[in-house]
Structure 1
Amino acid sequence: MTFTPDRTGEVSRRGRWFLLAAVGFVVVPLVYAAAVLTPIGQRLEDAALSGVRDTDLFGSDTALNVISVPVILLLVVVIVAVGLGRRRLGVGIGAGVVVLASAGTSTLLKRIAARPEIAGSTTPNSFPSGHATIALAASFAVLMVTPRRFRPVVLLVGAAYAVIVANQTVVYGWHRMSDIVGACGVALFWLGIVRAVGPRVDLGLRGDRDAPRGPRVLVTGALLAALGIAVLIGAVAAVVFVVSDAADGPSLLVAGRMAASGSVVLTMLAVWLADGMHHAGGGDRR
């Protein structure tokens, strides 16, 4: 049995992942410019940050405490080992690159993307969120080495964890909403680059073929519903803030949390849809 390359499908695959990488590449500087380098952006985010309770400020919870350098390195080793076990070592290495490159880029940006204090903030720069970057990149990496029939579950679990991390970083005052959006851009950029130029994740072999269509549709619907709920709650919270002219910003904090959660869900949805537009079915085999 031999395989024949599908050039049209290959170009389509590379094109859509390059497109997502380009989106991530553009999002990071745009969000930084709008939220960090402008007075109105800083004032809005600082107003939301002022809504964090003093007892919660710079606190943490389980989802945040899990993320550490040893855990990241262990995760990369496990991901590469899974790729090797599936006889897809190149994919495993590529998935590890997504995690390490995303974490490294986030750390580098924190050092070079200074926050000019043009709105009187006393909270240091935190753009982008390293925790959110790693949570997203790890989810993407695990998705790469997971057989297609298990990806619906992996995607939902990864999305839920990334949303929890994004919420906790905002509600404990570690990060502003723009930090989460920047993290989405960084992780999306590296996933797009690796999947565009790296080895093909799905070859139409055993384990690469889809499960019944139902689970994939269910995941898409769940992500769309979660995105809609986040937008609705965030919009209501923003209206409450404007109408009440609140000084401490608790309602704006809720809006910021929903914006952070929505950006994570939207990123996961984009990756999920791109991953589903594959050409690795039976039509690739002769």
Structure 2
Amino acid sequence: MPDLVPRPQPTRAASAVVLVLSAVGFTAVYVAGVLTRPGQVLENRALDASTFLASPGGLLSLVSAANIGIALGVLVLLGVALRRFRATARAVGVVLVSTVLSQLLKNGLLARPDFVGDVSANTLPSGHTVAYASVLFALLIVLPSKPRTIAALAASVVLGVVVVQLLAFGWHRSSDVVAGLLLVTGVMALAHLVLPDRGAPPVRSDSGTRTLLALGAVVGGVLIVASIAFAATLALDTSLATTHALLLASQIMCLAVVSLAVMTVLWVQRSAPARLASRGAPLAHSGA
């Protein structure tokens, strides 16, 4: 009888790549959007097209320390019920580390120089984006493969609505939102490197997950190409760079990053198949 040796290795190389790319992307967004005069001018013009609402209600009104605590409690209970203890520890770590790190960066470590007479304080990364992204990504970490696919679709919709509202209501600039998404994505990848799964049954992505990964990558790619094409058009004809056009471009770009970020979480969640370690037996895969 061949011995089944379960050695599911979450793709550590993939996690490392995601962590590095997230850190590089975060730095690039901060430099381009905050530390350069053209970046500040463009983002402030997009901000001028927003309709500021101090209390818009809906999803934005749900972000608070108490509600984040409740979400953490629900995640822990769910993880214990599913007996996914290491995944639950990762999920809680993602929420806590992302939240603390975002506040440290926004309120102390990062500065916003005044290039355009803008005396507002630094708002990068967006705390609302970090709150929603960290909780939703944590949910995707805790859930098993099959329900994770449906949850990823719901998470994409919720997070998409949040980032569009943050821009439309003038609460944040696009660099704040994108930096928040990259921060949580990087922390998620770090959590997988620090606390990988061990001793769990080997898992392969099911057809639904693979389809969603492909669809999300396509949607994100198309939106990014559209953003680049729009930026190139505005560069060639600056008369088209109205405040509303810039706001729309910012929202499209942020939706692209939402799609790619959620797909990245699903991608990192994959596990390697187990091996049949007897007489050179081939790899054996168990579906999930």
| Class of the TM-score when normalised by the shorter of the 2 chains | 0.7 to 0.9
Pairing partner for 1:273 from 267, 273, 281: 267
Amino acid in the other structure paired with 2:48? S
Q: Percent identity over the alignment? A: 25
Relative distance call for 1:280 and 1:247 in structure 2 (3 A) is closer
Corresponding residue of 1:250: 244
SS, match of residue 124 in structure 1: coil
C-alpha deviations, 1:84-114, integer Å up to 9, x for none? 2222223212211101110111111111212
Give the match for residue 91 of structure 2: 95
> Is structure 2 residue 254 aligned with structure 1 residue 260?
yes
Deviation, 1:151, is: 1.1
Deviation at 1:242, TM superposition (A): 6.3
**Kept in 2: contact 1:209–1:281 (CA 8 A):** no
Which of 142, 154, 178 is residue 175 of structure 2 equivalent to? 178
1:245 counterpart SS class = helix
CA contact (8 A) 2:141 2:269 kept: no
Structure 1 unaligned regions, length at least 5:
none
Amino acid at match of 1:192: A
Q: Could you list the per-position Cα deviations for residues 142-201 of structure 1 after superposition, in whole angstroms to 9, with x for gaps in the alignment?
A: 111111111110111111111111111111111111111111121012111111120417
Q: Which amino acid aligns with 2:180?
A: A
Q: Note the residue ranges of structure 2 that are not aligned, 5 or more in a row.
A: 276-283
Partner of 2:149: 152
Residues 208-229 of structure 1 show CA distances to partners (whole Å, capped at 9, x for unaligned) of: 5654x1x123312431343255
Q: In the aligned structure 2, how far is the partner of 1:157 from the partner of 1:16?
A: 24
What does residue range 217-232 of structure 1 map to in structure 2 within 5 Å? 217-228=210-221, 230-231=223-224
Q: TM-score, normalised by structure 2?
A: 0.84
247-256 or 42-51, larger mean C-alpha shift = 247-256
Contact 1:180 1:260 survives alignment (8 Å): yes
How big is each residue's C-alpha offset from its partner over 1:233-264, in whole Å with a ceiling of 9 and x where there is no partner?
54576536964626751111111111111112
Give a deviation string over 1:36-79, Cα, whole Å, max 9, x none: 011111111111111113xx344524121122211111111111
DSSP 3-state at the match of 2:5: coil
Task: Give the AA of the match of 2:251.
Answer: R
Q: CA distance change for structure 1 residues 157 and 81 in 2, over 3 Å: closer, same or farther?
A: same
- Where relative contact order (Cα < 8 A, 6+ residues apart) is larger, the structure is 2
**TM-score, length-normalised on structure 1?**
0.85
CA RMSD in angstroms comes to: 2.7
